[in-house]
A and B are shown apart, each in its own frame.
Chain A
């Protein structure tokens, strides 16, 4: 009989900075070596088990689940789960230990283990050579026959002694003894990386790490021959016997939805049907059309078959709560654009109005939970999260984790430190790792650094960093992925403390949940929802009647006209440079055009080369052709160009012969290809499948390329539709209620691409009068004033350095009448000298004290009143302070408010600019395409879209408007300093026109920032 072995004690890299192999490497190697089983026993963690579980599917080695625990006052134990109940108990124990310590640590005592219910768990004690009888006795007494002594031999020179002593110890106490490996890596070759991890953990270079390093590479998965030489056969046999006792698999975990959402007398099905009926009546007061009713029936039937009702009810409950509190929210995701979701109020996009098809709605074939992300106003999402915690309790609701992994820069930094390479060299090296190299460390770019990649130390650095890439580093919290359990979450997955106080996080990330078929609700934050809600409220006051999103008229012509002019500063999504450049070409005339616009200007479609074909076909410059009728049905809506994620998947089905289930695996592979490197066997199947069905090689290759592009960035149509609705609503508001829209944007800062200065400037160009902040008239927020509510009064919140409480005191004390002097303001609003000075500098005291310098003098001289005494009056005159010049006021405006209502800074420099033949933005608009011109402006935004092969978009602004620059990569490198640093940039370039949009393709750049003196403008840089 061949020797058998099961490894019962193995750590993966989810035991951070100790384990030197990925979970899948361990299980795969165990199978290769012919092990019967491998127990993943990460230290106080189950974070790696799902990955191991996925990797173990179809492998000959079985995966066992366990954990290694170091008791603070006792031995180190390895606990293994034999069944589902024992697994739940281990989850609870890990949770208890993790919750008792700060993030990333755990705390466990003998007493805790003694009192914990560990029924069904196997307990191994990897005993040291000095093990004493008292510890064995404790183990025996506490765990009885579930306990075993693990003998771990690692060729440290004392193997024989250890074996003898421990065997005797086990025998005398009647305890089972087994072999185990204390595995830290799947193969010997990982020893170097393991050493480096140790050095990183200790925060010292390898030279200093000394005995903390492993003396040899024996803690790898050993081949059976070595094990047989090292251990008596009986010990190996025991490991197999123990492994056989562990019958638990993660497949057994079944998610059970919360129960309390269904009132008595209802089943989830009947309750969901009832809620949907109610919704139908609200959405279609005059009765829904037959087609809608048929769709609803079909959807409800499918939901019932898959028993997904509680999921829809959970989301509905969340949305109902938010709506009750006046929090604007909107769902998106594969299941979100069903009629059921529209009826439940989860989405506002009327699916019928857009004649959308919902191919990616939950499918029976893929037994995968539906996916609904809900966006909430960014300022109020926390309320929703707190509601979830209150409703379900912290023991049932928790945020999913995000596994933070090593990226090129962090890997280089940490490995470099361990190798003792000086920080400046590492920095230089890590600078050369540009973001567009993705997750790969590229030696080619090292030439720029002047470092020699062949030197042994650097070679070690590079190869070890490459190995370290993708290693998990720590768990962080997901932005909003919530898991809710029916009973106790802690018996499903361990929960640990997050960095934020009062936050907890489960040990699994989104992908893990999905891999196990568990359900999560995404509670996300979106700034534009905040702005829209605030704008709608202002409109309602102005119009004197309630005004909601539903009251925004559909398909408004003026709004689309505005969008086609690319007059979209501040509008959701389509305010970026790339979007603005596309609008006049795409000319969206209806809602579906907006959906396409949102989806097409994304890195995925751009990388896949879909944009230009679509534009040409839309403009009628190129015929719309389909290689087959089947493809036509998929791509007809988008003129033969795949734009949405689901179209790519459908293509795989109709053109390459995938089943829908396979096509869904393809979708997941697409999302992960960058992480895992390539689409693997899908590539072959896809291209081969298309060829076999008579499609040309070109077509097949093009589709494959597009899939790669989609990977991380592709939009499903349902997402695009939800976003497009916000695009439309925000565009309508900008078009018809510019003052309210801008006030709302200002009151929701920080958000969006543009700073308040540009928003204010833009709204003034649209004819809205904007008034400066003033202590006697401004609220904290920007408000609409004047008889018609058409003037915009800036809020005090725009003044830098003013706290919310201060603003509240100012507005509250003002209710008894206006302030008549700085002194009375100080007394009535109880302001300190510093607060007054801030107000003075912000120009908000102009009405009380005159010009800025005088206002500051008066404000800073006020003495804070003391509680029991009348405020001291200090007799002093105001000295003769020079009034600020226009330039000085401008500088102060920018410094204190970030914007000015005075003349544009460039207006002050115009003579100097004109003398150098630098045109204004307005003059530029009259220049024909192809002509060489010079202009200059303040740099507003620098953008380097991830897709545009290194091109940099810079927007500059002068007193007449903005100009968009295109700077090619080579040029940007030549003029690095001017491109990245100038605040005032002078450009020489060639005019390029696309419809109404003008670009200047830069050829020469000069940094003229020194002309600005002390003017503080900061651009917003997005890389």
Chain B
């Protein structure tokens, strides 16, 4: 919020609407770091106004949260053999399936049912994304995993023009047109949660009206555990009202001491503290230049300011980043120029980021004059304590190497600097992979090494060899030094090979890695595949 407000203030110089609006794409959920604090509902004056809670529940969240929600009809959960449906797509519901059905039963009804296992981490992310949207309506949002949000809306009622309007706005903001949701309004958290399950759509604004509504709810909406619920059933209790009528000490002893307390919380006789959800932190800031700039040199001080501000921001939070993005805004009509800076090791220090920026700015040709610069930090990770020392082989050697790598990549381009990772596989073509270079290298995996020699230079594609008589020829007759090493593998990938490899000596003295195809194909014959040093 704060960052956004500042960007409005600092940028609105030219009254250019394109600039005053969002400078950045919506926050990426993947990179969010969440900090939570325990806080009571906001208090402005005493006596404290009665809070009012809007509970919004997304029963389809387990489906919607999947990366490809259209491909599945149902999400299942449970140990093998006892799996049950926890959520369904709209299509599946129209086929007569319902939640809580066992998978076996569901497949009896719909033999072609497509399902996948529940992914709690995706659901948590999806719920958090919705929580973020909810901050448009209130500053107090609380998560009730797996699928419910609680919004304290008393303070927002007037701002949004009353309860009805607010609910309407909330549902729109939370995207309930696309993802079905249910809601309920109640003056206590627990009541709101029970009502959203038991009587969705109900709005109870006063404590006085609460008992009458709650009493009719079935006990199945409560969070009581299975033992408590089964004892209730054995006592012939089916609604909250019937339970609430019984002597307090009696039910505490028979069911659980928590039961009367929860009832008190539901009815508002006892306060229920609630965790406030706090949004992920990220540094974002933009600066409008006092005058248009056509040279990258002129941008330098502004960028320095932004990176220093970022450093302060991160240091305050004891955090560091491995990536940040600089946007150079041009006059309207021109798309902004983006500079992404990346480091191998996380850092907060402006100095280090400036070193990288220097490489980039130095090679940059501005396509149009720059009117504003904006900086946005990447995903935040805990800071790594910095140690300065002389020992280059140890930690600092590592840091120095990493710095070198970063500079090379910044100067030559991301693609030009590659790392190599060995993969344990018999096929030479699949025995390595290009990777983003890291320090230390990921390649040092001993069990990925084959036990026979491999050439350091492997041709990107095997090269057919001429034959003289039956002998392969490469600038002269080749003399086989060792072999054959027979490799028949990789069939499962559709690119299986069947070859006899030999190490051969060329007339020049070069040692070559050559092979003969074992399968009769049009290309059958001898091939050069690598050169030993």
Binding site for B on A (CB under 8 A): 154-158, 160-161, 191-192, 195, 206-207, 210-211, 213, 215-218, 419-420, 424, 428, 431, 448-450, 456, 460, 833, 837, 840-841, 852-853, 856-857, 860-861, 863, 874, 876, 879, 881-882, 884, 888, 892, 976-977, 980-981
Please tell me which stretch of B122-130, B264-272, B490-498 contacts chain A, meaning at least 4 of its Cβ atoms lie within 8 angstroms of it. Answer: B490-498
What residues on A are CB-neighbors of B107 within 8 Å?
A: 431
**CB contact under 8 A between A210 and B112, given known A157-B485, A215-B489, A879-B247:** no
Sample of 11 A–B contacts (CB below 8 Å): A157-B501, A207-B493, A210-B423, A211-B450, A216-B426, A419-B492, A428-B112, A460-B492, A856-B236, A861-B250, A977-B96
Whether B452 sits at the interface, judged by CB under 8 Å, is: yes
Bound together, the chains give a CA A879 to CA B235 distance in angstroms of 11
Beyond known contacts A216-B486, A216-B498, A840-B234: 18 more, CB 8 A cutoff: A156-B485, A157-B452, A158-B482, A160-B482, A213-B489, A215-B486, A420-B492, A450-B112, A852-B236, A853-B234, A860-B254, A879-B247, A879-B250, A882-B236, A892-B234, A976-B108, A980-B108, A981-B105
Bound together, the chains give a CA A381 to CA B410 distance in angstroms of 78
What residues on A are CB-neighbors of B424 within 8 Å?
A: 210-211
What residues on B are CB-neighbors of A863 within 8 Å?
A: 253
Q: How far is the CB of B329 from chain A (nearest CB, A)?
A: 45
Quick check: A217 and B488 within 8 Å, CB to CB? yes
Contact of B483 among A157, A191, A420, A856 (CB under 8 A): A157
Whether B332 sits at the interface, judged by CB under 8 Å, is: no
**CB contact under 8 A between A211 and B486, given known A837-B231, A853-B236, A860-B254:** no
Q: Give B236's nearest chain A residue, CB to CB.
A: A853
Bound together, the chains give a CA A837 to CA B228 distance in angstroms of 12
Bound together, the chains give a CA A450 to CA B253 distance in angstroms of 56
Quick check: A157 and B482 within 8 Å, CB to CB? yes
What residues on B are CB-neighbors of A456 within 8 Å?
A: 494
Whether B425 sits at the interface, judged by CB under 8 Å, is: yes
Interface of chain A, main secondary structure:
helix
Quick check: B109 and A155 within 8 Å, CB to CB? no
Quick check: B111 and A157 within 8 Å, CB to CB? no
Bound together, the chains give a CA A448 to CA B112 distance in angstroms of 8
What residues on B are CB-neighbors of A206 within 8 Å?
A: 492
Quick check: A856 and B426 within 8 Å, CB to CB? no
Quick check: A449 and B112 within 8 Å, CB to CB? yes
Whether B246 sits at the interface, judged by CB under 8 Å, is: yes
What residues on B are CB-neighbors of A977 within 8 Å?
A: 96, 108-109
What residues on A are CB-neighbors of B426 within 8 Å?
A: 211, 213, 215-216
Could you mark each residue 416-455 of chain B with 1 if its beta carbon is under 8 Å from any beta carbon of chain A, else 0?
Answer: 0000000111100000000000000000000110111000
Quick check: B234 and A852 within 8 Å, CB to CB? yes
Quick check: A876 and B492 within 8 Å, CB to CB? no
Q: How far is the CB of A395 from chain B (nearest CB, A)?
A: 39
The 8 lowest CB-CB distance pairs between A and B, nearest first, are A157-B485, A210-B424, A155-B486, A853-B236, A216-B488, A216-B486, A860-B254, A157-B452
What residues on B are CB-neighbors of A881 within 8 Å?
A: 235-236
What residues on A are CB-neighbors of B484 within 8 Å?
A: 155, 157
Whether B487 sits at the interface, judged by CB under 8 Å, is: yes
Contact of B235 among A155, A213, A448, A856 (CB under 8 A): A856
What residues on B are CB-neighbors of A460 within 8 Å?
A: 492
Q: How far is the CB of B531 from chain A (nearest CB, A)?
A: 17
Quick check: A860 and B231 within 8 Å, CB to CB? yes
Whether B114 sits at the interface, judged by CB under 8 Å, is: yes
What residues on B are CB-neighbors of A154 within 8 Å?
A: 486
Quick check: A156 and B112 within 8 Å, CB to CB? no
Bound together, the chains give a CA A879 to CA B234 distance in angstroms of 15
Interface of chain B, main secondary structure:
mixed
Quick check: A155 and B485 within 8 Å, CB to CB? yes
Quick check: A424 and B116 within 8 Å, CB to CB? yes
Bound together, the chains give a CA A233 to CA B249 distance in angstroms of 94
Q: Give A154's nearest chain B residue, CB to CB.
A: B486
**CB contact under 8 A between A210 and B425, given known A155-B484, A157-B482, A853-B236:** yes
Bound together, the chains give a CA A976 to CA B110 distance in angstroms of 9
Q: Which of B232-262 contact A (CB under 8 A)?
A: 234-236, 242, 245-247, 249-250, 253-254
Quick check: B500 and A155 within 8 Å, CB to CB? yes
Q: How far is the CB of A841 from chain B (nearest CB, A)?
A: 5
Q: How far is the CB of A434 from chain B (nearest CB, A)?
A: 12
What residues on B are CB-neighbors of A192 within 8 Å?
A: 491
What residues on A are CB-neighbors of B487 within 8 Å?
A: 215-216
Q: How far is the CB of B112 from chain A (nearest CB, A)?
A: 6
Quick check: A856 and B488 within 8 Å, CB to CB? no
Quick check: B250 and A876 within 8 Å, CB to CB? yes
Whether B474 sits at the interface, judged by CB under 8 Å, is: no
Quick check: A156 and B234 within 8 Å, CB to CB? no
Bound together, the chains give a CA A156 to CA B498 distance in angstroms of 13
Q: Give A460's nearest chain B residue, CB to CB.
A: B492
Quick check: A195 and B108 within 8 Å, CB to CB? no
Q: How far is the CB of B84 from chain A (nearest CB, A)?
A: 14
Q: How far is the CB of B207 from chain A (nearest CB, A)?
A: 25
Quick check: A856 and B231 within 8 Å, CB to CB? yes
Bound together, the chains give a CA A156 to CA B483 distance in angstroms of 8
**CB contact under 8 A between A431 and B111, given known A192-B491, A213-B426, A215-B489:** yes
What residues on A are CB-neighbors of B494 within 8 Å?
A: 456
Q: Give A840's nearest chain B residue, CB to CB.
A: B234
Quick check: A216 and B249 within 8 Å, CB to CB? no
Bound together, the chains give a CA A456 to CA B491 distance in angstroms of 11
What residues on B are CB-neighbors of A837 within 8 Å?
A: 231, 234
Scoring A157, A192, A207 by chain B CB atoms within 10 A of each residue's CB, the highest score goes to A157
Whether B115 sits at the interface, judged by CB under 8 Å, is: yes
Quick check: A861 and B486 within 8 Å, CB to CB? no
What residues on A are CB-neighbors of B482 within 8 Å?
A: 157-158, 160-161
What residues on B are CB-neighbors of A431 within 8 Å?
A: 107, 111
Q: Which of B355-398 contact A (CB under 8 A)?
A: none
Q: How far is the CB of A190 from chain B (nearest CB, A)?
A: 12
Quick check: B425 and A156 within 8 Å, CB to CB? no
Q: How far is the CB of B218 from chain A (nearest CB, A)?
A: 11
Bound together, the chains give a CA A218 to CA B245 distance in angstroms of 80
Quick check: B485 and A841 within 8 Å, CB to CB? no
Bound together, the chains give a CA A644 to CA B28 distance in angstroms of 75
Q: Give A877's nearest chain B residue, CB to CB.
A: B247
Bound together, the chains give a CA A191 to CA B487 distance in angstroms of 12
Contact of A879 among B111, B246, B493 (CB under 8 A): B246
What residues on B are CB-neighbors of A157 within 8 Å?
A: 452, 482-486, 501
Bound together, the chains give a CA A671 to CA B261 distance in angstroms of 67
Quick check: A888 and B96 within 8 Å, CB to CB? no
Bound together, the chains give a CA A863 to CA B501 distance in angstroms of 81
Scoring B111, B235, B249 by chain A CB atoms within 10 A of each residue's CB, the highest score goes to B235
Bound together, the chains give a CA A977 to CA B484 distance in angstroms of 62
Bound together, the chains give a CA A655 to CA B259 distance in angstroms of 81
What residues on B are CB-neighbors of A191 within 8 Å?
A: 488
Q: How far is the CB of B82 from chain A (nearest CB, A)?
A: 15
Could you mark each residue 85-102 of chain B with 1 if its beta carbon is under 8 Å from any beta carbon of chain A, else 0?
Answer: 000000000001000000
What residues on B are CB-neighbors of A976 within 8 Å?
A: 108-109, 111
Quick check: A888 and B488 within 8 Å, CB to CB? no
Quick check: B486 and A156 within 8 Å, CB to CB? yes
Bound together, the chains give a CA A853 to CA B424 distance in angstroms of 67
